[in-house]
Amino acid sequence: MKTNTTLGELKASGYQTKSVKEELRNNLIEALRSGKQPFEGIHGYEDTVIPQLERAILAKHNINLLGLRGQAKTRLARLMVNLLDEWMPIVAGSEVNDDPLNPLSRYAKDVIAEQGDATPISWVHRNDRFAEKLATPDVTIADIIGDVDPIKAANMKLSYADERVIHFGMIPRANRCIFVINELPDLQARIQVALFNILQEGDIQIRGFHLRFPLDIQFVFTANPEDYTNRGSIVTPLKDRIGSQILTHYPETIRIARTITEQEAKLEGAQKENISVPSLAMDLIEQIGFEARESEYIDSKSGVSARMSISAFENLVSAAELRGLKSNNPKTSVRLSDFMGVIPALTGKMELVYEGEQEGSTYVAEQLIGSAVKTLFESYFPKVEKLEKQGESGPYQGVVDWFFEQDEFALTDDADDATYRSQLDAITPLDSLIQKYQPNVLPTEKHFLKEFVLWGLVESKKLSKSQMDNSTTFRDKFSDYVRGGMN
């Protein structure tokens, strides 16, 4: 059909005009019947958001995606493009994608009246049928709907009473397309009001022009619920004209969060080849995000974007890569000490409350890492009891006793791999502990697990830890006190 170049050829081919909402509906039905996934690459929404979105498309609704930052709202809207027909015919030269069989603009009507079936048509690919506007307070009616263009009036020698002097804005130019307005509450109320007629009555009003202009647009709005009280709101009549409001959410499990991070992280080929990332390290990255969303230092209403975990993972791999290059170990594995390198990826993505601001973003980030270690430690090893029964030593007593006998144990941050492994292997009680509770650990991940045990015991108040002089030092919490009393 794309070979048709004139209106007459298009009519002869049997082309039928369809609205953009009909295209989406019909192609979604076809995808579902054939077992295709129309929203590929979206994880964690299979039983929640996606079914609601599919129902909205089947109902031919305009849609508002409501959720905190980093919840794939814009990604969902962009994937809807895949449900459009691959090619769409327009009157050649039309500013507003005029349907050759149902023209809207004065330009298209005049061309068809003059040339009839010889009217030239062109084809627009579905990838070009997506328009997006970030709502900001400085957006004007002229930007999104249009305005009178005095230059056009002068060049064409037209009166300002002639509708051909109108310069169409983004929305009319997105006719027969998907149009996304991100952060809708940030749009001034008077601009939101200007959308009423477009959504419901199908006309536009520009500086005295009241044109019956039934635009064919699939509107998708995105909004953050915090915006309703913080910066602005969606005016009630506009909300009433949006067919479906769909609530998005963050990943509900570490497994889903890991899938998203691994999919979205941008790693170089050399990093993928040379840097080994233990599965536990990936879990820790995601657990940091879960801890952040529950932290008393972070504003829960602002949310913690999934982009934080993605950036943290990229920083973690880069920290291991940098250490490997400096120690002449280009092929290396992530260590727990490398997690200090993810702090810059955390601090810029957290909206702190007053208490968090007082403590400082770096402190909060370090606390999140520690909390993540403690949470996962208790899922890998027995929980450390605050009060152990008399006569019982507990599963960690051997490790604690080993540290009691040492002045201190320093794990060098930039040590080469052989030194790093030999330092951890010196703590012999760790082997029996891991053999008992994690016997199936991969040999390549065993030393990360050993370091993880030390950090877990620190968070459980069994050991103390300090970082200085490019090393992490572990001590028994009471050995200094006991030795001081004996001297």
pLDDT digits (tens, 9 = 90+) for 362-404: 999 999 999 999 999 999 999 887 655 544 568 999 999 999 8
Proportion of the chain above pLDDT 70, given as a percent:
90
- Secondary-structure class of domain 397-486 per CATH: mainly alpha
Architecture of domain 254-380: Orthogonal Bundle (1.10)
Angstrom distance (rounded) from CA 136 to CA 66: 17
Identity of the amino acid at 277 = V
Contacts of 80 (CB under 8 A, 6+ apart): 24, 57, 178, 218, 220
Mean pLDDT of the 177-189 span: 90
Residue 221: beta bridge partners? Answer: 64, 181
Q: What pTM was computed for the model?
A: 0.86
CA-nearest of 368, 380, 378 to 343 is 368
Angstrom distance (rounded) from CA 225 to CA 386: 41
Q: What is the pLDDT of residues 13-32, one digit of tens each?
A: 999 999 999 999 999 999 99
Q: How confident is the model at residue 124 (pLDDT cuts 50, 70, 90)?
A: very high
CA-nearest of 85, 107, 83 to 96 is 107
Angstrom distance (rounded) from CA 423 to CA 54: 56
Q: What is the largest CA-CA distance in the chain?
A: 107
- Secondary-structure class of domain 7-247 per CATH: alpha beta
Residue 205: beta bridge partners? Answer: 210
Q: What is the pLDDT of residue 82?
A: 95
Q: Higher confidence at residue 445 or residue 162?
A: 445
Identity of the amino acid at 464 = S
CA dihedral 408, 412, 413, 415 (to 10 degrees): -160
The alpha carbon of residue 171 and the mean position of all alpha carbons in its chain are separated, in whole angstroms, by 26
CA distance readout (Å), 455 to 201, 438, 465, 482: 63, 16, 8, 23
Identity of the amino acid at 73 = K
Q: At residue 268, does pLDDT exceed 90?
A: yes
Residue 4 CB-density burial (10 A; 0-12 exposed, 13-18 middle, 19+ buried): middle
Long-range contacts of 137-144, Cβ-Cβ distance < 8 Å, separation of 24 or more: 137/186, 137/188, 139/187, 139/188, 139/191, 140/191, 141/169, 141/190, 141/191, 141/194, 141/206, 142/167, 142/169, 143/169, 143/170, 144/169, 144/170, 144/171, 144/191, 144/194
Mean pLDDT of the 332-355 span: 93
Strand pairing of 63-66 and 244-247?
parallel
Q: What is the DSSP string of 30-56?
A: HHHHHT--TTTT--S-TTTHHHHHHHH
Residue 442 CB-density burial (10 A; 0-12 exposed, 13-18 middle, 19+ buried): exposed
Angstrom distance (rounded) from CA 349 to CA 309: 10
Q: What is the pLDDT of residues 68-110, one digit of tens each?
A: 989 999 999 999 999 999 999 999 999 999 999 999 888 899 9
Residue pair 284/261 in contact (Cβ under 8 Å)? The answer is: no
Per-residue tokens: 50 = 């996606």
Angstrom distance (rounded) from CA 431 to CA 366: 28
Among 1-10, 65-74, 127-136, 262-271, the minimum mean pLDDT is found in: 1-10
Per-residue tokens: 401 = 């006793």
Residue pair 293/349 in contact (Cβ under 8 Å)? The answer is: no
Q: At residue 413, does pLDDT exceed 90?
A: no
Q: What is the pLDDT of residue 90?
A: 95
Helix, strand, or coil here: 19? coil
Query: Could you tell me the residue ranges of all domains in the chain?
Result: 7-247, 254-380, 397-486
* Residue ranges in 353-475 assigned as alpha helix (H): 354-359, 361-380, 397-404, 417-425, 429-437, 446-459
Residue pair 364/350 in contact (Cβ under 8 Å)? The answer is: yes
Q: What is the pLDDT of residue 188?
A: 85
Handedness of CA 86, 91, 96, 102 (dihedral sign): negative
Proportion of the chain above pLDDT 90, given as a percent:
64
Q: What is the pLDDT of residue 406?
A: 82
Q: What is the pLDDT of residue 486?
A: 41
